[in-house]
Structure 1
Amino acid sequence: MARWIDQLKQWAKQIKRDVYAVWFAARDPETPFLAKLVALLVAAYAISPIDLIPDFIPILGYLDDLILVPLGIMLVLRLVPTEVMQHCRLQADAISQKPSS
């Protein structure tokens, strides 16, 4: 059980890093227009308090976040050039390493 929880925590950290990376990719000048548009939409949805299904609805409220955000990130990863995404992930890692208050 502890191993499963550790894997879930690691997955959540990776999703958080990828949301930052998607945001950086949306602002990168080398990112194609369509990829920028999709990246902005995914990042905005991930950080927005507005959901398609409100979080107070049991199970379904969080299910849209658990499905839509990773699917959006996967789509952005396909649209953004690999070199740009690698650079954006490095930026996201740097942001993630900074202590927060």
Structure 2
Amino acid sequence: MDEIKFGDILLPGDEDTQERQEKTVRARFWPTMRKAIRQLPLGRDVVAAYYCATDRQTPLRVRGILLAALGYFVLPFDTVPDVLALVGFTDDIAVLTTAFALINSHIRERHYEAADRALADEPGVAAR
């Protein structure tokens, strides 16, 4: 497999690419989040990023970066398999942290409020 560079993963892509990534993220986000929530130190931020990425008021480039990072998070095959306890999500965390650093000012309070509601619904995480 070719070496994956985080910068390449976070390219926002064109609108067709973003549309495909959004469909993938919407379909796989909650099942992946349910598995990761106990191991992922950025759980609330990841859920807020999901709401930011699916918010049509978020600028297109920011949505693209977040959808790319969240797409990497939900893909079953990545650099470090997620099934490995504790280390499985380290590459996902690195990608997400990089994405957050690039777009942090665009994740609004309403996205965190939606994340809080989703995380409070049940111990695992409620799908929306």
Say if 2:116 is the partner of 1:93.
Answer: yes
**Superposition map of 1:13-92 within 5 A:** 15-55=42-82, 62-78=89-105, 80=106, 85-92=108-115
Structure 1: segments with no counterpart, 5+ residues: 1-8
- Under a length normalisation based on structure 2, what TM-score does the superposition of the two structures give? 0.53
RMSD of aligned Cα (Å): 2.9
Q: Structure 1 36/62 Cα, relative in aligned 2: closer, same or farther at 3 Å?
A: closer
- Between the two proteins, the alignment pairs up a number of residues equal to 86
The alpha-carbon deviation at position 100 of structure 1 amounts to 4.2
Runs of 4+ deviating beyond 4 Å: 59-62
AA partner of residue 51 (structure 1): D
- Under a length normalisation based on structure 1, what TM-score does the superposition of the two structures give? 0.65
User: How far apart, CA to CA, are the structure 1 residues paired with 2:63 and 2:74?
Assistant: 16
Question: Percent identical across equivalent pairs?
Answer: 24
Structure 2: segments with no counterpart, 5+ residues: 1-37
- Deviation string 1:7-41 (CA, Å, 9 cap, x unpaired) is xx7x71xx111111111111212111100111111
